[in-house]
Structure 1
Amino acid sequence: MTAQIGQLVRDLLTGDLNSYPEQTKALDEPGWNAFGEIVGAAFYTAVGRRLAGQQADVAAFVSAAAAPYAQSPVAIDESAAQALVRSVLGDDATVGQVLEQLDEPDLARIELVLLRRLIEDGNGDITVDALVSSAQDEAAEFSGEAGVS
């Protein structure tokens, strides 16, 4: 399952992210679990590579990432997005409230919007294929699918 979900994540990161609701509407609970694991692992890796150890202005980063999607099907809550980024950077004081309020589709949508910006800002040091492949491997290990073809 992680291979198909990984391809969906690749498609969303390289194609029209506004198609997120349409492309994910057929996911069932196991599909959403795998989708969330892959997107979450990719998000964690990308934030760690691009923003850790820097004096990044998280609010400015999130605002720039969110701007192209304002008033679209994938518009994001910027305060929730900031909490997610800060949690990866080690400040998890506000992320618990975000996790209580948002469901898996909302969290994945926010992470995808931010991932697109991280990839764009990465000057080629973060590629979609490498990021998603690594995230798929992590998700497969977590779900017990590792080694299953």
Structure 2
Amino acid sequence: MSSPEMVDYIRTMVRGDHEANDRVEARLDQLGWDGFPTLLGAVFYFAVNRRFDERTPPGEIMRFVADMRATTPPGAPEIDANSAETLIRAAVDPDIETAIDPQMAGRIQGLVILTILGDNAVDDDDLDALLAEAVALAERV
């Protein structure tokens, strides 16, 4: 089950509000992170499906991943390009199987969410709607 703090954590991460994100992270460290991977996966699903669909050519996903990796800030955890491409394709095509390390999957999901939704790519209302959809999906899983 996702908590309001988890939603705030993702919102502040997407908005680049580092101070608020640190405060929410500290609060979640006290409350616990149970359910966060499911919520992150749901936000990832909706973010990816805003950007790609089943007709997206594999080359476009490859370019997206390459650009995302090239613009990752120094010191950020590395992500595996093949795993990122597979995870993105699986979000738009449920028939694609993934066997990706959960820690790598979480790093990929976070980076993809920031890349697609960050830098004010979505307004507050759209972000709130996406997060509400993600919470509803995460609670059904």
In the superposition, the TM-score normalised over structure 2's length comes to: 0.72
Instruction: Give the corresponding residue for 2:107.
Output: 109
Q: In structure 2, do the counterparts of structure 1 residues 135 and 120 end up closer, same or farther at CA, with 3 Å as the change threshold?
A: same
Counterpart residue identity of residue 8, structure 1? Y
The residue correspondences of 1:1-149 to structure 2 (distance < 5 A) are 1-15=2-16, 23=25, 27=29, 31=33, 33-56=34-57, 57-69=60-72, 71-90=74-93, 92-93=96-97, 95-96=98-99, 98=100, 102-103=101-102, 105-120=103-118, 124=122, 127-142=126-141
Give, in angstroms, the shift of residue 53 of structure 1: 4.0
Number of paired residues?
133
Give, in angstroms, the shift of residue 123 of structure 1: 5.4
Counterpart residue identity of residue 9, structure 1? I
Indicate conservation of the 8 Å contact 2:40/2:109, yes or no: yes
Kindly provide the CA deviation profile for residues 86-133 of structure 1, in whole angstroms up to 9, marking residues without a partner as x: 11122514x22x2xxx23x43222112111222259954893322122
4+ residue segments displaced more than 3 Å: 120-127
In the superposition, the TM-score normalised over structure 1's length comes to: 0.69
Unaligned runs of 5+ residues in structure 2 are none
Unaligned runs of 5+ residues in structure 1 are 143-149
Instruction: Give the Cα–Cα distance (whole angstroms) in 2 for the partners of residues 131 and 7 of structure 1.
Output: 13
Percent sequence identity over matched residues?
Answer: 23
Superposed CA RMSD: 3.4
